[in-house]
Structures are given as C-alpha cells and as structure tokens.
Amino acid sequence: MPREVNHSGVFLRLISETRDFVYGPSKGTARELVFYTNKEIKDPEGDLDGWTVAYNGKHKEHELHLYSKGALVALLRLTPRGYWEGKDLRHRAGSCRITPQEAEQKKWQNVRQPAPTEIPDNSDAGVLDEAFIHMLGDQPLADPRFKSLDLSDMWTHPEPAHTTATALIGYDRPDYFKEVVTTLAANPEFHQYPLFVFLDKTPDSATTKAHLKVLRDLAIEPAAVIRRPLNFGCGRNIIDVRRQLFDHLGFDRIFVFEDDMMVTPEYMKVCENLMDWAEENYDNIGVVQAWDLCKHDMSYKKMNLDSVYATFNNLWGYLMTRKCWDRIKEYLFRYEDLFLNVEYGQRNHELIRKWLFHQINYFEGARVNGIHYPTSPQYLDEKEKSLTFPVSGQDGVTMSSIYLTGQVRLTTRVNRGYYIGEEGIHQTTERYKMAGFHDMSFDSFAGDRELHSFAPDKNDMGEVINGLRYVEEV
C-alpha cells in the first residue's frame, strides 16, 4: 500500500511567498495580516500571533491553525477558490476566512491536493538531501580523519567536574591570536574553566609554532591543544569544536572564541550572567554574546549597559548551551557531510543557499515549549534579510539552525568586544571599513561583573515586550 504523502511543505512555501492576507473574523471588521516564515503573525489591529499548517489524515486535507498567546483560536481549510475558510473557536458557531491578496489568489486555487513531485516536508529530509547529493556530482568523499578524533579518549574531567569549557580557535594569524589571548587572559573565567585550543593545519608549520609560543609566553596552560592533522577549514573546524566539547566531553556550556575579537576583562562574566538570566526567564534562548556592531558614544553606552536583544547579527565570542547544540547539530552535520568535503573557500555557495532555503521554507521549525523571548521589529527585519539570502558559511548555517529549531540568540546592545579581523577568509580591509568596524570604540565598564538583570527588547513605543508562552499540541 503506497504511503500517504503529507504536502504541508507546499503550503508553507505558498504562505511564505504570499505573506499578506486579509482576515475576516466571525465578529468585527476584516483586517490585514502578515504571515512570517517563523510561524509568527503580524496583526496590528488584533491579537493573532502565530500559525501552523497541519495535515488532517481523517479528512485528507490540510488545515491552517491560527494562535493567540499560544492558544489555538481558529481552524481553517483551503477551498478550491483559493481562500481558507473555517471555525473561529472563540465564538460559538463562529466562522472566519483568510484570503490572499488578489494578485496572489491564483496560486492558491485548486491546490488542495498538490502533485507528489513537489518538494517533501521535513519528514522526508533524507530524500531532499539525496537530491542535493545528486546535484553535487563528482564532489570527493570526506576524508575519514575529519571525524576520527574523540577527545574523551585523551582527556577526562578532573574532580569536581567542570560544566563549562572554553574553545579557542586559530589558523594562520598568530598576531591576531596574541591580541585575542592577551585580552581573554584578563578574564578570571578564562583561567577557571578548561581551555581547549584548536589549531587548524596551515601550509607553514612555523605558523602553528608561533601560536604555541603565544600560549607559552603568556603562561597559558590549556587542558588540550588540538593540532589538526590536515586542513579542516573554518567550517569543519568549528563544527568539530562543538562536537568534541558537547558530544564527546559532555560540557553543558561552552565559550567559542576565534582569533579575531578582543574582549574586555568582564566579557565572559557578562555572557554567563546573561545566560543565567535568560534561562531563568525564558525557555528558547540557546546562545548569548556580548558583541554587537555598536558605534554609539559613551553616554548612550552607559545608559544601555543592561539592554539586550534577539539578533541575526555576527556570531562571534558566544556562549552556547548543550541543549541548543542538541537541537541544531543534525542540521550542522548534514551541512558538513553534503558541502564541506572540499576546501572551505571552494564550497558550493549557490547550492548551499538552495539547501538552506529549502530548510527554511519547507521544513517546519520546532516550537520550544514554555516562555519565548519577545521578538522586536528590529529582529523581524534582521530575520527576513538573513533568511531571504542565507549565508553559506558555518556561522550562517548555525544561525539558520537556531531559528529552525525554535530558538533565539541574544546579544548586548553595548559591545564588550572589538573585532580586529581586518584581513581573513571572509574579510578585506575595504569590507572591514565599509561595515564600520573601525568606527567602534573598545570600552570596559565598571559594574559589569555585578550585572545580573537585563532589559529585553522593546517595541516601537519603547515599551518592554512580554514573552509569549507556547505549549506543544498533543
């Protein structure tokens, strides 16, 4: 007996392409809604805030579910005329309708049973990957040495066992590496937690020796220095850092620092305090950092030391939880296996973007149960820009994976780090200056270590937005 095909992915794509709808409730006047790809709704004149598409096996058709503050309030089915019609659950015998803009309505007509050739939903992720494997053609297979390392064979936790570790990553910029390590060493936490230094293989062994000399000269004693036997490339190296420290060594939190950002003496403490506060107040925050592209003057900074927001900006100098990693790692491993079997700079950017675009537009991201961090207009704008043209690098895939798994990343509005990577794999002096990195100041703030409460995102009126509670339907 052939398996019944769930075509939810087709409707997810059409909704993301249409975005603008008109909602006709059972009571009140019709109003405009905007549907976002992260299953959120913009409803300026009402209280709808979420949506999902589900397949009703009994009726052999798809349903559009609308939510308000985590509660299901409307259930609609697609009609052959191209609009959704159904029940308004908040009013007895109430009905409601969702209609696309007239220019988009033809797309929705007669698609109640899409053709089986459409891209499958996330239950068929392996089938989709097979299609991309075919498109990759003669790309070489991965060298088994990429995954041969298991740090648990070489290092064991001392007693009492630490729950947090620090990863420091270097490649071919020992001068940058020295500046970064010098500033990190001013953080007490840098000496408190086990330090794992990951040095990718360079064409010149003298470069690796220069990195090791920096550690000796600064009297830094890592728990382990991992010298790669072959060039992993930036993407594989960072993915494996997290695989080693979370999956093999079992840490609950890890700091990840690359060789191109200096930090204040309070940087690591600010991140720890922010994560503690985030986990106490919300359930969907997986990563925090204390870097942002902040070019404001000192008076602004002093007024906003506790201000934080959800971001899609650069993923630098961050603290990640194992819970977050467990949710996103399968996306990273699939990306690694599909696209990183060549030199990192030679990866297939166009095909990676297509793959990411399918993850974003066809696969339903999970909704984490509990209190969600509030999303501001700035976050929604950043998200739309980031997900419309996804970045093909490891950082970009990590950021997309965080979104796809229902999580957010927080950063402080005031920078406690200073990006120095004027020259590197993804950077040139021209681009560095164009982005405005050279216009930032690098300041340390008294009282940062005692900062334990933070001010979350605000709306356009400057009012703090309350978090929403989501509970998974059974």
Whether residue 138 lies inside any domain: the answer is no
Of 69, 100, 118, which residue constitutes the final position of a domain? 118
Mean of pLDDT over the chain = 83
The pair of structure tokens assigned to 130 is 């097979």
How much is the average pLDDT of 53-78? 79
Q: How confident is the model at residue 127 (pLDDT cuts 50, 70, 90)?
A: very low
Whether residue 234 lies inside any domain: the answer is yes
CATH assignment of the domain containing 416: 3.90.550.10
Whether residue 123 lies inside any domain: the answer is no
**397 near 405, Cβ under 8 Å?**
no
* Same structural domain, 56 and 159: no
Of 118, 134, 167, which residue constitutes the final position of a domain? 118
- Residue 238: the pLDDT is 97
Whether residue 127 lies inside any domain: the answer is no
DSSP E strand stretches across 322-440: 370-372, 408-412, 417-419
* Same structural domain, 281 and 401: yes
**96 near 86, Cβ under 8 Å?**
yes
Whether residue 139 lies inside any domain: the answer is no
The CA–CA distances, whole Å, from 369 to 71, 282, 409, 471 equal 13, 10, 17, 5
Other CB atoms within 10 Å distance of the CB of residue 160: 6
* Same structural domain, 93 and 162: no
- Residue 379: the pLDDT is 82
Whether residue 137 lies inside any domain: the answer is no
Q: What would the pLDDT profile of 264-294 be if each residue is shown by its tens digit?
A: 999 999 999 999 999 999 999 999 999 999 9
Q: What would the pLDDT profile of 364-378 be if each residue is shown by its tens digit?
A: 556 678 888 887 777
* Same structural domain, 33 and 156: no
Whether residue 363 lies inside any domain: the answer is yes
Highest mean pLDDT among 316-320, 338-342, 465-469: 316-320
Percent of the chain with pLDDT over 70: 82
349-362 helix and 125-136 helix, angle to the nearest 10 degrees: 170
* Same structural domain, 110 and 165: no
DSSP E strand stretches across 174-283: 195-199, 224-227, 253-257, 261-263
* Same structural domain, 152 and 110: no
Whether residue 388 lies inside any domain: the answer is yes
* Same structural domain, 206 and 58: no
* Same structural domain, 262 and 411: yes
* Same structural domain, 181 and 110: no
**111 is in which domain, residue-wise?**
8-118
* Same structural domain, 70 and 201: no
* Same structural domain, 365 and 435: yes
Of residues 105 and 315, more confidence is placed in 315
* Same structural domain, 165 and 311: yes
Domain count, the chain: 2
Q: What would the pLDDT profile of 145-162 be if each residue is shown by its tens digit?
A: 788 888 988 888 887 778
